[in-house]
Structure 1
Amino acid sequence: MTTNSVPSREELIRRAAEVVPLLKDTAEKSEESRNLADESVQALADIEFFKMRIPQRYGGFESDLTTTSAVLTELARGDGSTSWTAAVWTISTWIAGLFPDEVQDEIFSTPDVRVCGILSPTATAVPVDGGIVVNGKWVFNSGAKHSHWNTNAVILLHPEHGPMPVMTAIPLSDLQIVDDWHTAGLRGSGSVSTVATDVFVPEARVLHMGPVLQQKYSSEANRNSPIYTAPLLPTACSTVSAVAYGLAQAAKDAFFERLPGRKISYTDYAEQAHAPITHLQVAEAQTRIDEAGFHALRAAGLVDRKANAGEEWTLEERARVRLDMGATCVRAKEAVDVLNTASGGSSIYNHVPIQRIERDIQAINLHGVMHPNTNFELYGRILCGLEPNTHYL
């Protein structure tokens, strides 16, 4: 185990910005193969991205959520699928830091370890001597083909205590990968399914979700690290919000890269940039981008502030992070929609980024946890004095 100097937030953002051109160049390749290009994964390793949410005692940076979100936002300006998969890796790597220390010793012994995972408990397990045996399937497993470990939720069918949700840490080598990722959006994320068939998981690699959702984690060594005192759902929701915010910025970049010299067909506007409709469109898009950024940054800032202060979370604060995630998604999509509409018929070609950005932001807005309407309803319930209708807070 080693410690190393931790780069500043500004340095990590600068590194992310440097790989944006490469991610743009490989985005179409990732789409065609329905999996991240090896060059994209190597670029993340080269900028030491995989160290950001690893404990410092293993040579990691223990980056806070504001820093992590800023880096993910920058990566999304290059490719939404890369940023999305990177976000999943940071969430799952952080979850690995909640397991007992001996489990972390095993996971983090691999250089540039990549951990993916699923929060939805779609598999089941039964207790056996020394652990549990897992069977079942998890879909939407982003980055699985490039990952070493899977942190997946499971329903433990306990004969005495009844069904209970647990989180497991399973090597990808113990699972079957089903290449079923044929989608309209985030095609490059390789969000395939993984299947467990009578997979034995030692007891140390099983976390009971009841204590986890109450911020009672199993690691002793990470107990005094602020990032490992944060709650699971606000951490995860804030992380993926950064991808939506970055895609909105990517749409703006893509639009203005193509704007010089473009005309508006079947009009006398020889320059699209001279048309009042264009001025209204880009102003509206920028407003939506700014609003998306407000919500994404507010959520990350709240998680960091409360973690550093050691403050308890209120129910309203937890629901507000869900609200911020939903607002980030819908405002980012509105911005992309405006710019996509303004991009003209030639933008439907595969080599033009705006059409891919449009499909990616649509996919994010359809995500079960990220869906704006679901999150707005949840926050509204809390404001109206009702109990939440979900455990995902």
Structure 2
Amino acid sequence: MVLTADVPTREQLVGRASELAPLLRKNAAWTEENRRLHDESIEALADAGVFRMRVPTRYGGYESDTRTLVDVAAELGRADASTAWTASVYWIPTWMTCLFPDEVQDEVFSTPDVRVCGTLSPTAMAAPADGGVVVNGKWGFISGALHSHWQEIVAILVGPEGEPAPIIALVPTSELQIVDDWYTSGLKGTGSVSTIAQDLFVPQERVLPLGAVLQGQHASKLNADAPIYRAPLLPVASASSVGAVLGMARGAMDAFFERLPQRKITYTSYASQAEAPLTHLQVAEATMKIDETEFHAHRLATQVDAKGTEGVTWTLEERARARADVGAVCRLAKEAVDILNTASGGSSIYSDVPIQRIARDIQAVNLHALMHPNTNAELYGRILCGQEPNSLYI
């Protein structure tokens, strides 16, 4: 059944995300302590339409463009990094679901405000079976798994001829084992636990070649001409992620200025930290870095949206630059947070002061394999120097 829904504008969705800030800030300490998002936060995100932003309009979704994702995630990240990261991660496998056959989408999107978690790591094996494949293996870093309905998994399929090939599949999260192993220094609230498949049968219609998905190739007839679904996966995933990082940097600035009027600089003659030239330099430098972060985030989103609308092929250099943009976002945002964290003094190490959590969260983001600034810059430079990419994830 085709649903009809009013599709909110970017401004409306950003406004809704901004209105969630008090609730997300209130739940941030609980979220970190319990290593998962608060159920109240999940319900609020659903009510705001956050989980519908990459869902086709025929299912009541919004088919939001990537610039909208960036701006919404930035508002969420300004309030709580773990919430923004989890929402961003849901957007990526939700988008990937829209490449599957339409009957598979009918099944997945029959659940209101469905949440799809996932991974791109092929850490499992699959074997052919009558009508599908049987999967065995384990996946780590599955952000949002504890609140998800489906998981997108990746495995290596060894066919009858013995030629291994990576596949991607959709499985109900209820059919996977959850391993509660998410004990980390940053992004604690994302609940990025591990999941295990044991002799799990997946019907063939819920299986696609990973290579096709990386290229943005469709098994869906109804989504084939939709601008947001005709792009390579990695630029889409990159653009889906950067808003949360931008929001973390803005949140650090908010946290710094909230405490500034009450602070002095201990063991100096400054009765107010705001009077110190050092503070002026620190705030200016951090602000400029956040401005640069926003530039790279919006440039990436604009390119993804424009090329989707135009329906033109991505060049190898453009795809590598998408990875470079996400790396630059992470590097610059972390540099800004580090400046503000350093300027926050010894009292900021108390657990009820937000900036120490933001610093740990943004450090965790910078260590992510697909977000890592050095890895992404090297890949871009490699392509600029006329070399072949040394990664499938481009």
- The TM tier, using the shorter chain, reads over 0.9
Q: TM-score, normalised by structure 2?
A: 0.99
Q: Distance in 2 between matches of 1:48 and 1:65?
A: 15
Shift of 1:113: 0.5
Paired residue for 1:148?
149
- Compute the displacement of 1:383 (Å): 0.6
Matched, 1:296 2:302: no
* Distance across 1 between alignment mates of 2:307 and 2:342: 40
Match for residue 126 of structure 2? 125
Q: Which residue of 2 aligns with 1:136?
A: 137
SS of equivalent to 1:120 = coil
Cα displacement string for residues 156-183 of structure 1 (whole angstroms, at most 9, x for unaligned residues) = 1112261101111000010000000000
Secondary structure at 1:183 match in 2: coil
Q: Which amino acid aligns with 1:32?
A: E
Deviation at 1:131, TM superposition (A): 0.1
Q: Partner of 1:73 in structure 2?
A: 74
Name the CA distance, whole Å, in 2 between partners of 1:330 and 1:113: 32
Q: Which deviates further from its counterpart, 159-168 or 378-387?
A: 159-168
Identify the residue that residue 94 of structure 1 maps to in structure 2.
Answer: 95
For 1:391, the aligned partner's letter is L
Q: For 1:3 and 1:65, how far apart are their aligned partners in 2?
A: 22
Identity across aligned pairs (percent)?
A: 62
Aligned length: 393
Q: Measure, in 2, the Cα distance between the counterparts of 1:210 and 1:263.
A: 56
Q: Say whether the 8 Å CA contact 2:294–2:329 is kept in structure 1.
A: yes
What is the 5 A alignment of 1:301-312?
301-312=302-313
Q: How far 1:49 sits from its partner (Å)?
A: 0.9
**What's 2:86 paired with?**
85
Contact kept? 2:324, 2:380, Cα under 8 Å: yes
Q: Is the 8 A contact 2:327 2:374 kept in 1?
A: yes
The aligned residue for residue 365 of structure 2 is 364
Q: For residue 291 of structure 2, what is the amino acid of its counterpart?
A: D
Asked if the contact 2:186–2:361 (Cα under 8 Å) also holds between the matched residues in 1, the reply is yes
* 2:36 alignment partner in structure 1: 35
Matches within 5 A, 1:205-284: 205-284=206-285
TM-score (normalised: structure 1): 0.99
Uncovered stretches (5+) of structure 1, i.e. residues with no partner = none
Hey, what's the Cα distance between the residues in 2 that align with 1:71 and 1:161?
Answer: 45
CA distance in 1, matches of 2:82, 2:59: 28
Distance (whole Å) between structure 1 residues aligned to residue 367 and residue 249 of structure 2: 16
- Provide the residue aligned with 2:322 in structure 1: 321
Distance 2:203 2:180 in 1: 27
Amino acid of the residue matched to residue 107 of structure 1?
A: V
Stretch of structure 1 that moved more, 150-159 or 50-59: 150-159
Aligned counterparts of 1:15 and 1:285: Cα–Cα separation in 2: 27
Q: Which runs of 5+ in 2 are unaligned?
A: none
Whether 2:212 is the aligned partner of 1:186: answer no
**In structure 2, distance between residues paired with 1:263 and 1:213:** 52
Alignment partner of 1:113 is 2:114: yes
Alignment RMSD, CA only? 0.8
Partner of 2:350: 349
Is the CA contact (8 Å cut-off) linking 2:10 and 2:68 kept in structure 1?
yes
1:381 counterpart residue number: 382
The 3-state SS of whatever aligns with 2:360 is helix
Deviation at residue 215 of structure 1 after TM alignment: 2.5
- Counterpart in 1 of 2:339? 338
Q: Using the alignment, how far apart are the partners of 1:97 and 1:200 within structure 2?
A: 21
Q: How far 1:111 sits from its partner (Å)?
A: 0.7
**In structure 1, C-alpha distance between the alignment counterparts of 2:80 and 2:54, rounded to whole Å:** 21
CA distance in 2, matches of 1:161, 1:109: 37
Secondary structure at the residue paired with 2:366? helix
Question: What amino acid is the match of 1:147?
Answer: S
Counterparts of 1:161 and 1:101, CA distance in 2: 30
**2:205 matched to which residue of 1?**
204
d(CA) in 2 for partners of 1:139 and 1:330? 24
Find the aligned partners of 2:33 and 2:217 in 1 and give their Cα distance: 42
Amino acid at match of 2:393: Y
1:216/1:161 Cα in 2 relative to 1: closer, same or farther (>3 Å)? farther
What residue identity is the alignment partner of 2:59? Y
Question: Over residues 35-72 of structure 1, what are the superposed CA-to-partner deviations in whole Å (9 max), with x where a residue is unaligned?
Answer: 11111111101111111110000000000000011101
Measure how far apart 1:244 and its partner are: 1.2
Q: Verify the 8 A CA contact 2:154 2:166 in the aligned structure 1.
A: yes
Aligned partner of 1:48 in structure 2 is 49
